[in-house]
Structure 1
Amino acid sequence: MSPTNASRTLFRNFNYKSDAEYVMKVAKILLTPVGVWPLYKTDSTFDKMKYVFQTSFIFSLMCFLLVPHIIYTFYDAEDLTRYMKVIAAQVFSLLGIVKFWTMIINRNDIKYCLQQMEIQYRDVESEEDRSVMVKHAKIGRQFTIMYLGLLYGGALPYHIIMPLVADKIIKEDNTTQLPLPYLSDYIFFVVENSPFYEVLFVTQIIFSTLILSTNCGVYGLIATSVMHACCLFEISRRHMETFLTSGTDDLHKRFGQIIVHHMRALRFTEMIEKSFNFVFLSEMVGCTIIICFLEYGVLKEWEDNQILGTIIYFILVISILVNVFTLSSIGDRLKEESVKIGETSYFINWYAVPAKNVSGLVMVMIRSNRPSTLTAGKIFDISLQGFCDVCKTSAAYLNFIRMVAA
């Protein structure tokens, strides 16, 4: 047995739990408070009851925030300009609810993906393979932290600072008060009187933070899962590159391991696609709408000489664009990594492969010609081309909105 194979046989990753925890930590911190983190220590009756109660309670809080806001903007908004400046927040909240229910409906599939990630860290065959996995985990975590900083850096000032600098609301007794972060019409009770108004002001900020956490947590989970799928393809490719350079001992066995790694990467990608393809569709469509309305907000704040409002809207535009670009780029990278293993199998000395392994090598080449991709609801691929389409479509919608509002 060659030294490389011996090291793979003897290698044990005793730190696999800490590695898996590192990968999942950010998403776990964000999704546990809203009750949709799929990994629990036990599936006891108490845990199931706690899960149902927590998710029902959080969903009720989201609806308490969003439904009165929609009622206000459709029935009580004073002008079209005000409506167009707040619709982006509504669409963003709806995206959060879509992600929330996706985590609930596809909980078992997502749980299986996370469990497989931990198993793959445990069963990694060499320190080199572990380094590849950790490298991709760091990239996924950096994407998440970057998006988290941009989104919270724009959304929280939008909910906290904007009401403080906005025009005061004049009540019937000629007193004034700050507008709520989410202008709302609560049909069954009046919220103008103190201290209920102040309590509701703080409550809306807290509830909006829950929606932010859901959006960021699911995004972080997607980023880390897709980057993990990329690392599985890269590991398969690395093994293919050294397939014929490690001697002829156990050649059939080593080729079988390559097939196992490749199939593991394909199955993991299919599970991600199955679990999140509706999220991808809602994200691409929703972000297109959000971007065009935020761009409109930038223009209106600039025309009104509201420098602070312009900066906040601009930060929000950048954060959503970064979100779409990152999602598109990791989708593109996944597609590229799935193709590379086929290219590698062609460039090795395949003519030196024993006849009994040739058919398997051909199957790898053929399968790689149909790359693994993430799709938006099975309609179109998540790629950099999709990002360009989002930018162009949002610009077209912006022109239409300006014409309507003129």
Structure 2
Amino acid sequence: MRKIPMWPNANHEKDVIDTLIWNQWLLRVIGIWPLVYPNTTRIEKILAMFSFALCWTVLSLFLILTSIYTFTDRSVMGEKIKMLGPLGYVFFSMLKYLFLVIRHKSFRRCIKILTKDWCMVQDEYHREIMLRDAEKGHILSKFCIVFMYCGGLSYNTIMPFLSQRPDIEQNITVRPMAYLGFDILFDLQLMPVYVFAFCLQCFTGVVMFNITTSVCCLAAMFVAHACGQIDIVLARVKNLVTVECNRVKFKQCMAITVQHHVRALRFSASIENTFREICLIEMVGTTLIMCLIEYSLITCSKVGHTSYKIEWYNLPEKTALDLMLMITMSRHPTQITAGKLISLSFTNFGNVSTCHIIIFKTKI
């Protein structure tokens, strides 16, 4: 099979930089960028090592302190359940961070393929297709960044002051913190120490947000690029039947089209191979956190179940009717919804994930 002719794109360096811009900034913060992108300077590698060590230090400190608080006698059962969500989030964030490092060669390989595709653009129309799909990846990346940082920073900076109240009985000033357990190491009654601990929690949150958004932005960028390559293959196929050419040129165009399609399929397979562990971690972690939230909300339905199990038929008639009202109300427990459109349950989560997989495979 003939190889695709190399007609270099004069703007390929700028195109690659523009495509990777969001991934570059996010991965630099957590010190991963030099591992996945080969063309980095010595200063960038040194700064990346410092960022990498700092991020792992704060994440490990956060995990240790929250684990001690959650699994010891320092907290009551209600606080233990409340802390399982943040504890699980930091644990799964560290797992994703670990697999970003373990899979860095696969990420680098995908970026090399992407760079080569930009160098091999053969006409302006194909470049416009790639730019259009790259812009779609940028839109998804911006949405992930805005959504993650707005929600995450609000939880770290605003929610502590809204949810905690001073203990009037013991005449103690309660220092609001997003995550409990930091009083094990820090004396939060001292204002400078409290400010440092509060800022440390916010910085740890930023690190976790960057890990999540980095994974999402990498996936969005790779998938958008794969879709762009498939669109180019479709354009080539249409040209085969619209452009009149001799037999030799037709065979050459057909060979180039088939090879381009094979490259796009191999790149898609590389995406799946690169993200399989991270996607599993994301799915398991998100599901467990959703289950914890649903567990906290499902006690409304427990009221109806308990009311049904008692010997309500031995009660006076009017009292039994009151219990029936409680049972009926409890059949509709409080749920967390996405824009009041669908409930955030495991069933709907699985349905949405299945739809995304089917759409992506159909596109290819």
Q: Which runs of 5+ in 2 are unaligned?
A: 300-335
Matched to 2:19, the amino acid is V
Matched to 2:358, the amino acid is D
Give the aligned partner of residue 267 of structure 1: 266
Give the aligned partner of residue 360 of structure 1: none
Give the aligned partner of residue 332 of structure 1: 358
Using the TM superposition, give the Cα deviation of residue 121 of structure 1 relative to its aligned residue in structure 2, in angstroms.
1.3
Between the aligned partners of 2:355 and 2:28, the Cα distance in structure 1 is 27
Q: Residue 148 in 1 paired to residue 145 in 2?
A: yes
Classify 1:147/1:210 alpha carbon distance in 2 versus 1 (closer, same or farther; 3 Å). same
Classify 1:129/1:25 alpha carbon distance in 2 versus 1 (closer, same or farther; 3 Å). same
Q: Residue 25 in 1 paired to residue 46 in 2?
A: no
Between the aligned partners of 1:219 and 1:27, the Cα distance in structure 2 is 9
Between the aligned partners of 1:146 and 1:298, the Cα distance in structure 2 is 28
Between the aligned partners of 1:171 and 1:213, the Cα distance in structure 2 is 39
Matched to 1:333, the amino acid is I
Between the aligned partners of 2:148 and 2:185, the Cα distance in structure 1 is 33
- Secondary structure at the aligned position of 2:235 is classed as helix
Using the TM superposition, give the Cα deviation of residue 66 of structure 1 relative to its aligned residue in structure 2, in angstroms.
2.5
Question: Could you give the per-residue CA deviations for residues 116-136 of structure 1, whole angstroms, max 9, x where no partner exists?
Answer: 212211211122222221222
Q: Residue 64 in 1 paired to residue 87 in 2?
A: no
Question: Could you give the per-residue CA deviations for residues 85-134 of structure 1, whole angstroms, max 9, x where no partner exists?
Answer: 33222222223212211221111221121122122112111222222212
Classify 1:47/1:88 alpha carbon distance in 2 versus 1 (closer, same or farther; 3 Å). same
Between the aligned partners of 1:278 and 1:316, the Cα distance in structure 2 is 30
Classify 1:35/1:281 alpha carbon distance in 2 versus 1 (closer, same or farther; 3 Å). same
Between the aligned partners of 1:132 and 1:333, the Cα distance in structure 2 is 19
Between the aligned partners of 1:26 and 1:324, the Cα distance in structure 2 is 29
Q: TM (normalized to structure 1)? A: 0.68
Q: Which runs of 5+ in 1 are unaligned?
A: 1-7, 301-312, 339-406
Between the aligned partners of 2:297 and 2:139, the Cα distance in structure 1 is 28
Using the TM superposition, give the Cα deviation of residue 32 of structure 1 relative to its aligned residue in structure 2, in angstroms.
0.7
Give the aligned partner of residue 97 of structure 2: 100
Is 1:71–1:185's contact at 8 Å kept on the other side of the alignment?
Answer: no
Question: Could you give the per-residue CA deviations for residues 267-296 of structure 1, whole angstroms, max 9, x where no partner exists?
Answer: 212222222110010111111122233455
Classify 1:316/1:299 alpha carbon distance in 2 versus 1 (closer, same or farther; 3 Å). farther
Using the TM superposition, give the Cα deviation of residue 225 of structure 1 relative to its aligned residue in structure 2, in angstroms.
0.6
* Percent identity between the two aligned chains: 24
Q: Which has the larger radius of gyration?
A: 2
Q: TM (normalized to structure 2)? A: 0.76
Between the aligned partners of 1:153 and 1:48, the Cα distance in structure 2 is 30
Is 1:236–1:261's contact at 8 Å kept on the other side of the alignment?
Answer: yes
Is 2:66–2:83's contact at 8 Å kept on the other side of the alignment?
Answer: no
- Secondary structure at the aligned position of 1:208 is classed as helix
Please tell me the root mean square deviation across aligned C-alpha atoms, in Å.
Answer: 3.5
Is 2:137–2:220's contact at 8 Å kept on the other side of the alignment?
Answer: yes
Classify 1:148/1:54 alpha carbon distance in 2 versus 1 (closer, same or farther; 3 Å). closer
